[in-house]
Amino acid sequence: MESTRVDRWLWAVRLTKTRPDAAAACRGGHVRINDKPAKPATTVSPGDEVRARVGDTTKVLEVVRVIQKRVGAADAATCFIDRTPPPPPDPVAPVARRERGAGRPTKRERRVIDKFRQGWE
């Protein structure tokens, strides 16, 4: 077995829950093989690069082994090399905190808080 359909492979390696979901992703333009749009019947073989948008992230996978039947998660993980770049770190804005029970901020404290908030907007 040297090649298989991309929708079947995506389902077999557990990237999608069902094979119709994989086919729909292909028809929707969410799957590319070697930077070319892939239809559900496009063949995938070892050495190909598969880009599939799953949820909010785009997975970049290199095909190592072709399988046609759905297997356990441990076996499925050996069929590809995940080359997905790490997500960029979320910019975390510092939060202005006051001690609990300190009451309403004074006019001076309010100005400081407003100045702080303007820097992050």
Torsion over CA of 9, 10, 11 and 13, rounded to 10 degrees?
A: 80
Q: State how far the Cα of 85 lies from the Cα of 88, in Å rounded to an integer.
A: 9
Q: State how far the Cα of 41 lies from the Cα of 51, in Å rounded to an integer.
A: 16
CB 52 within 8 A of CB 59: yes
CB 19 within 8 A of CB 75: no
Spans of the chain below 70 pLDDT:
1, 93-96, 120-121
Mind listing the pLDDT tens digit for each residue in 30-44?
999 999 999 999 999
Global pTM value: 0.72
CB 76 within 8 A of CB 34: no
